[in-house]
Each structure stands twice: as C-alpha cells, then as structure tokens.
Amino acid sequence: MAAVNLSASRVARPVVDTSDRPAAVGLLDRFGRTAIDLRVSVTEKCSLRCTYCMPEEGLPAIARRDLLTPAEIGRLVGIAARDLGVREVRFTGGEPLMRADLAEILAETRAAAPGLPMALTTNGIGLDKRLPALIAAGLGRVNISLDTVDREHFARLTRRDRLPAVLAGITAAQEAGLAPVKVNAVLMRETLAGAADLFAWAVDAGVHLRFIEQMPLDADGVWTREALIDAAELLAALGTRFDLEPIGRDDPSSPAELWQVVGTDATVGVIASVTRSFCAECDRTRLTAEGSVASCLFGDDEAPLAPLLRGGASDDEIADAWRTAMWGKQSGHGMDRASFRRPIRSMGAIGG
C-alpha cells in the first residue's frame, strides 16, 4: 500500500452539529467524555525512521510558516488550561527535540499556563545535551521510546544506528531526577523475541517499561490485524523468564495495566490499545504541529485553529472552536469492526 501521509489542508472536515452541545463547559464530547490531557505535536521531523511509524524518506515537510511558533503554542495551551479544563500537556511529534526552540516552547507554555505539568515524549536522541535548558523551562517528566537494546536490531527497526544516543538520553533523564523515566516499546513480531531481554535491561536500569500494541498508524500502511502481537502473547513470552502477577493500574487514567515480578518491586506495563481499547475512558485532545485540533488518533476530522489564532480571534472564540471540534469526537477507533478504515495521517504526522 502507498504511503498515507497527507498535509492538514487535505484532511476532510465534516461539519459538527453543535445544536445539542452544552455551552461553556470543558472539552466534552457527545459520548460524555471530557478531555483533560493535551498532546501537542511540535514537528513532523524525526531523527529516526521507525518502521511502525515513519516512511523511509520521512514525512512530507511542513512549511516553516505553517508550524506554530512558541508564542502561538503557549497561547493555545494557556486557553486549554485556563478555559477548557486541561490538566496536563505533553509535547510530542515527530521528534520534539528536532525543534531547536523546544525550550522556548516550554517557557512560553509555562508563562501562559503556570502550574500546568509539562511532559515530553521523545526518542531521547540529543536529550542529554538539551535537558538542562528544558528542565529550566519547566519540563517535569519524559517518556522515551526504545524497542530493543540490541544495537543491530535497533538499527533495523529505526533505520538508523543510534542506540547509544538513545541510551545516553535515558541516563541523562535519570541523572537529572526526572523519575520515574518511562520507556515505551511497540509490540511487534520483530520485538517479541527480545521482549524479555528488554524487560531485564529496564529492571536493571531502573526505568518503567511499557509495551504498546502496535496500531494501524504506520505511514507505510503494512499493519494488519491478523499479524498483531497482542498483550497475551507478550505476557506468555515474558512469563518464560519472569513470574508475573497483575496489579492493576498505578493511575486510573493511565491506559497501562501493570504486572509485577513476584517478590520484587519490578513492574512492566502493557497498553493493549487494540485488543482492550480504552476509547470509552479516553480523556485526550491533540493539537497537530500546524495548530489543528485532532479529537482522536483515528479520526480524519481535524479542525484548524491557526486561521483563528492568526486572524485576530479572541481567546473565547478559539476556546469555542476547540469545544466544537471535541464535541464531534468519534466513539472509538473501531479496529475490530469490518467497516474500520485506517486514518489518513500516520502516528508521526498526528503526534503520538
């Protein structure tokens, strides 16, 4: 199948009927969910080309003038926190460290939304050098993506030989006291055999490892439901080396279910995004790098806020447009339905 990334301007935008939407509340949708967790993509660029995410050649470049500036991101997150009930923001991408002005983005956000916890999802490359400035600007937590600690396997999965740089980023985050450092691994046939080794490494390194079922958000469009490696297969593989018992979730709003190695403090998280969908409890809202609201990773109906932002709209008008976009959020990803259609944009293009 051909690559499936399109720019925001080509994304269809159905009209959202708001006649039954309550006025002046938070980011409520018609299924009774309220979004309080904001993900902001800051770029489509990346230093890796993970096969489950990016095409070999990278995503089509977003014109510089179309990317939100640090001040614009700060303003939008400020509106989200002040007027729309958002309680946490996470910067993602693409790879957020590809933005040279990431510390400025954090500083603008901190000024516009004082007290709002700020986190980063990153592949960790270059984090060691950037961390002091990011922490000074208000960064509180990091999630770092790592699928294998085998260098040759890492190079194949990400199409780049950068494992030492990722490990340096993880160590730097730990040394800077950003505990707990969470490490995300995507579960695939290619990573299943090394899953127990990765977990053993995580226990030793003192990071919290979480496996995520692979979603049909790869730009190359090769994902199939039949080839999915699910949480049950992962637990069977880990069970050959570790005696695991389920201990529930550490945080009720987290999609990760935890298993503990019996008799130790070591835990591993499993995010069964495909087989145990948490859509009914979804509390996320997303902004793309061009400033459009994406109410769901699996919806193609993005609502652009940038024209309002750049056209002199008031904070109230922007907040209202954001509420309208979320009112139209779909009930779930529907991956198990015959009618399921994968979204136009891939994970790296929406912001994972």
Q: Does 38 bind ligand SF4 (CB under 6 A)?
A: no
Give the total of residues touching ligand SF4 (CB under 6 A): 12
Q: Contact with ligand SAM (CB under 6 A): which of 8, 16, 42, 53? A: 53
Asked if 348 interacts with ligand SF4 (CB under 6 A), we say yes
Q: Are 335 and 280 in contact (CB under 8 A)?
A: no
Q: Is 49 in the site for ligand SF4 (CB under 6 A)?
A: yes
Residue 54's binding partner among ligand SAM, ligand SF4, none (Cβ under 5 to 8 angstroms by kind) is ligand SF4
- In DSSP terms, 287 is beta-bridged to 40, 293
Q: Counting contacts by CB under 6 A, is residue 212 touching ligand SAM?
A: yes
* Exposure letters 67-104 (e unless 16+ CB within 10 A, then b): bbbbebbbbbbbbbbebbebbbbbbbbbbbbbbeebbb
Closer CB to ligand SAM, residue 80 or residue 212?
A: 212
**Least Å from the CB of residue 188 to ligand SF4:** 12
If one asks whether residue 54 binds ligand SF4 (CB under 6 A), the answer comes out as yes
Question: Residue 199 is inside which H or E element, if any?
Answer: helix 195-205
Taking CB under 6 A as the binding criterion, the range among 26-34, 72-80, 119-127, 156-164 that sits at the site for ligand SAM is 119-127
> What's the closest the beta carbon of residue 14 comes to ligand SF4, in angstroms?
28
Stretch that binds ligand SF4, among 50-58, 170-178, 187-195, 297-305 (CB under 6 A): 50-58
CA terminus-to-terminus distance, the chain: 22
CB of 117 to ligand SAM, least distance (A): 18
Beta bridge partners of 212: 186, 271
DSSP of 283-334: -EEEE-TTSEEES-TT----EE-HHHHHTT--HHHHHHHHHHHHHT--S---
94 is a contact residue toward ligand SF4 (CB under 6 A): yes
- As a whole number of angstroms, the distance between CA 186 and CA 209 comes to 11
Q: Interaction with ligand SAM in 95-114: which residues (CB under 6 A)? A: 95
The DSSP 8-state label assigned to residue 240 in this structure reads T
Structure tokens given for 227:
């080839």
Return the range that interacts with ligand SAM (CB under 6 A); candidates 21-29, 55-63, 89-97, 148-156. 89-97
Binding track, positions 132-171, relative to ligand SF4; x by CB under 6 A: -------------x--------------------------
Residue 218 interaction partner, one of ligand SF4, ligand SAM, none, beta carbon < 5-8 Å per kind = ligand SAM
**Which amino acid type is present at position 273?**
S
Q: From residue 199, how far is each of 8, 192, 255, 276 by CA, in Å?
A: 38, 11, 19, 22
Q: Is the dihedral of CA 180, 204, 144, 186 positive or negative?
A: negative
Told to check if 93 binds ligand SAM by CB under 6 A, we report yes
Q: Give the pair of three-digit tokens for residue 157.
A: 């999965």
Which residues here bind ligand SF4, judged by CB under 6 A? 46, 48-50, 53-54, 93-95, 123, 145, 348
